[in-house]
Amino acid sequence: MTVETLDDLSIAYTPGVASVCMEIHGNPSESYHLTNRANTVAVVTDGSAVLGLGNIGPEAAMPGMEGKSILFKGLADIDAFPICLATQDSDEIVQTVRYLAPSVGGIKPFKTSPPLVALISKTHCKTLGYPSSTMINMEQPSRSSLEL
C-alpha cells in the first residue's frame, strides 16, 4: 500500500488499522494475509559456526547475516532480518526463536552449530507447527544434525 494522502494514512495507521488488528485478534492465522508476516524471515545466529572462521560470536557474524538477508531479498523477494543473539545457550536460543515467531513467517538458523540448528528445528516445528524444511541449515550439514 502506498500512502499518498491523509486518508491513506488513516487506513494504514490510526484509526483504520484497528479493524485489521481486531480481525487478527479473532483469527491469528490472518496475520499471514493481512500483514507482511508471510514474506518475512528472521535469520538467527549465535555466531558459533561461521563458515571458515568458527565460533567468532554474534557481532562478527553480522556481515554474513546481512549478506544472507540480501540473498533472500534479491533472489526471492523475501524480507529477511538478521538477528544476532548474545548467547550460545541452546535453551535461550530456542526460547528466543519462540518469542520471534509471531513476527515472522519463518526462522532461518544460520552460522550456528549443526546440533543447535537441529534442536531449534525439532523444537520449533513441534511447538509452533512450522515445516521442518524451513529450518534446515544446508551450510554445514553433519551426521548428528541429520539423525534428529
Between the two ends of the chain, the Cα-to-Cα distance in Å is 43
Has 73 been annotated as catalytic? no
Out of 32, 68, 108, 122, pick the active-site residue: 68
H/E element, 81: strand 79-84
Residue 73: Cβ within 10 Å count: 13
The dihedral over CA atoms of 148, 138, 101, 62, expressed in degrees to the nearest 10, equals 130
51: left (phi over 0), alpha (psi -120 to 50) or beta: beta
Q: What are 131's three cell numbers?
A: 515445516
Has 32 been annotated as catalytic? no
Residues with catalytic roles = 13, 68
